[in-house]
Structure 1
Amino acid sequence: MDFTPTEAQTDLARLTGEICAKLVTADRLRELDTAGRYDEQLWNSLAETGVLAAALPEALGGSDFGMLEQTAILRELGRYVAAVPYLWSIVLGAGALAKFGDADQRQLAARAGTGEIVLTAALAEELRATTDAPGIVAEAAGAAWTLTGTATTVAYADRAARILVPAITSTGVGVFVIDPEHASVTRTAQRIVDLSPEFVVDLAATPAELLGSIEAGADILTWLREYAWLGLSALQLGTLERALELTAEHTRTREQFGKPIGSFQSVAQRLSDAYIDIGGLRLTVTQGAWRLSEDLPAAEAIHIAKFWAAEAGHKVAHTVVHIHGGLGIDRDHITHNYFTAAKHNEFALGGATPHLLALGAELAS
């Protein structure tokens, strides 16, 4: 395994970071700290500079970069707790349509790459597409399909042009594409810890297009989940890295008893533990992204990365708040944004325990 970043990784990370540094200021974060937070200005800038399209195939206007480059972008977005749907619209939505879709579906991916539309996916853990607990059921009517059921915590469903939805059919798992503007779709906003726009989506015989084939449905769903888990881990990595940097800066300037609090042993120990936890997350995210980019089996590495994202997310987020003292619980202080983002990433699509159980099952098999 080569840990040296590719030139594309370095360039995309630098470009994304420069855009975010210019647009995502502390004042802008406070302005966005409302339910359904979404930074349209940042999203448009990422589209105009080609960041959104970078991972798409060249035939769709992209550069055909892989998951190593995408995690570099996600990491920078995490550092600025950016309120944009890059993971859901580009990595998952456009990525799946470009890889598995027909000509019309691939054009949707191209439009997402220009920022013209937003895509998303319904992947809540409690709605695993299994015959024991079907969250959404698909029924065939000739060549057409309809979906009935409920999906929860569907990110950016309020502005998505299409939603990718896993469902149970009479012969197996399928992944479908729906138009959320159809009259049979009801979207209800949920209250999320970091105020991200997530929704309950109710489907009542909603017309749907099949993505790929039913025979490939389980593989497509696995692809979506693995990229979602690793993408969340990369976002978490950037969030925790920047949160620790802010905390380290605070310990150098905040004084008690005439000394910077960073010189106290208990503070230094907690910072050291956080540094080690973030190092573990960085290593496992890099390993998972590298294995996906090389088309190697990555399930084990991805579950480990998501475990670290949850475990380190919990410990580092609380360390950041505790070391900031009273400032750490002030909703107007930037620490608040990093704490809530870390808690959201910790539990999204499964916390530490579910991924340990999945890792155990993977090793046992």
Structure 2
Amino acid sequence: MDFHPTEEQAAAADLAARIFRDLATHERLAAAGTGSDGELWKALTAAGLTAAVEEIGLLGLVLLLEEQGRTTAQVPYAATCAYGILPIAAHGSAEQRARLLPALGSGEAVATGAFPARGRITASPDGRLTGTAPVVPWLRDATHVLLPDADRVLWLVRTDAPGVGTPEVETTAPWSAGRLILAGAEAERLGDGRAYGEVLATARTAFAGLQAGVCAGSLARAVAYTSTREQFGRPLSTNQGVMLRAADAYMDTEAIRVTAYEAAWRIDEGLPAREHALTAAWWASEAGKRVVHAGQHLHGGMGADLDHPVHRHFLWGRQLDAYLGCGSELLAELGALLSDHAAPQGEDA
């Protein structure tokens, strides 16, 4: 495997880092509340960073999502790419790709997904959907929602279609979320029976990359704070307990990053990657939770301030901890998958 980014991937990541750093400031994020930053979204799409995902692949997207996570930028970037551009490019018909990808790449359309399958959505023979997805991130921004029915067939539905409701829902992180209510809503099918598992693995890998960035940003803030904050005449960072806590957080962050890179690389190469995506998602859930707690604790009393920038990393980290499956669910799914793949034992074993 090769985790070295291509020139195109590296250039896209550098450009994304500059845009997020310049526009996703604490003041702008606070002003956005629970909504999205429309100006930042326009800057990303105008720079071609949404459309570029078709070319740079999932590993390239993971690199870009790390940069988003470092600043907790409030834009539907991960959702549009993981539930729109990549699945349509991989599983859409020629007509669907021609109709949908340009609008998603330009930012005119925004996608999100109601994943994983919970058996709450049913489809009629003529492709009309009924049911409810209680919490869908970035739904208030979305023009299209990708979702599986009870049989794990994928459907794409427009949020402005008759029979579609999207009331606002508040979540731990300010992800412009909503409840998706379908009452005989017309939808179009995407892909074949393999599409659901592949899209879920892609989404888990992408959001693990986002969590790697959230954790890196939280840790960077903690390091900066403890290096300048003094207690008993010396910086907090010189205390052994602080150093050990930060070191553990660094190792956890690297574990999230490297497992996300591996899963993304395998998916881009067309290799089996379901176990690798689950592994990345498990690290993002379990280790991510530890890192954002550490980042907040290392700020001492300042970490309890809801208006402090590090608190945003805490909220995003906890939301990502549960999104697409919490640690125990992912571990159970991974264990069952590995058991199914185990070689059969002989009769005398």
AA partner of residue 251 (structure 2): I
CA distance in 1, matches of 2:237, 2:304: 19
Matched, 1:195 2:186: no
How far the C-alpha of 1:138 sits from its partner, in A, is 0.5
CA distance in 1, matches of 2:93, 2:142: 19
Question: Over aligned residues, Cα RMSD in angstroms?
Answer: 1.3
Superposition map of 1:190-339 within 5 A: 190-212=169-191, 216-217=192-193, 219-339=194-314
AA partner of residue 258 (structure 1): G
**Larger fraction in strand:** 1
CA distance in 1, matches of 2:283, 2:268: 20
CA distance in 2, matches of 1:181, 1:116: 14
Tell me, yes or no, if the aligned pair for 2:292 and 2:317 is still in contact at 8 Å. yes
Q: In structure 2, what is the equivalent of residue 29 of structure 1?
A: 29
Tell me, yes or no, if the aligned pair for 2:162 and 2:186 is still in contact at 8 Å. no
Give secondary structure in 2 for the equivalent of 1:206.
strand
Using the TM superposition, name which of 223-232 and 92-101 deviates more.
92-101
Superposition map of 1:1-365 within 5 A: 1-32=1-32, 34-35=33-34, 37-56=35-54, 64-106=55-97, 107-123=99-115, 125=116, 127-128=117-118, 134-140=119-125, 144-168=126-150, 172-212=151-191, 216-217=192-193, 219-365=194-340
Q: In structure 1, what is the equivalent of residue 346 of structure 2?
A: none
TM-score of the superposition, structure 1-length normalised?
Answer: 0.90
Give secondary structure in 1 for the equivalent of 2:143.
strand
Tell me, yes or no, if the aligned pair for 1:122 and 1:154 is still in contact at 8 Å. yes
Tell me, yes or no, if the aligned pair for 1:237 and 1:309 is still in contact at 8 Å. yes
Give secondary structure in 2 for the equivalent of 1:82.
coil
Tell me, yes or no, if the aligned pair for 1:94 and 1:110 is still in contact at 8 Å. no
How far the C-alpha of 1:224 sits from its partner, in A, is 1.5
Gapped runs of 5+ residues in structure 1?
A: 57-63, 129-133
How far the C-alpha of 1:13 sits from its partner, in A, is 0.8
AA partner of residue 120 (structure 2): G
CA pair 166-310 structure 1, distance change in 2 beyond 3 A: same
Q: In structure 2, what is the equivalent of residue 61 of structure 1?
A: none
CA distance in 2, matches of 1:102, 1:296: 22
AA partner of residue 81 (structure 1): T
How far the C-alpha of 1:332 sits from its partner, in A, is 1.4
CA pair 3-104 structure 1, distance change in 2 beyond 3 A: closer
CA distance in 2, matches of 1:91, 1:355: 19
Give secondary structure in 2 for the equivalent of 1:3.
coil
Q: In structure 2, what is the equivalent of residue 131 of structure 1?
A: none
Gapped runs of 5+ residues in structure 2?
A: 341-349
Tell me, yes or no, if the aligned pair for 2:205 and 2:264 is still in contact at 8 Å. yes
AA partner of residue 333 (structure 1): H
Give secondary structure in 2 for the equivalent of 1:18.
helix
TM-score of the superposition, structure 2-length normalised?
Answer: 0.94
Tell me, yes or no, if the aligned pair for 1:95 and 1:109 is still in contact at 8 Å. no
CA distance in 2, matches of 1:241, 1:78: 8
CA distance in 2, matches of 1:311, 1:173: 27
How far the C-alpha of 1:112 sits from its partner, in A, is 0.5
Aligned length: 339
CA pair 3-184 structure 1, distance change in 2 beyond 3 A: closer
How far the C-alpha of 1:323 sits from its partner, in A, is 1.0
CA pair 200-267 structure 1, distance change in 2 beyond 3 A: same
CA distance in 1, matches of 2:222, 2:286: 19
How far the C-alpha of 1:201 sits from its partner, in A, is 0.9
CA distance in 1, matches of 2:214, 2:15: 18
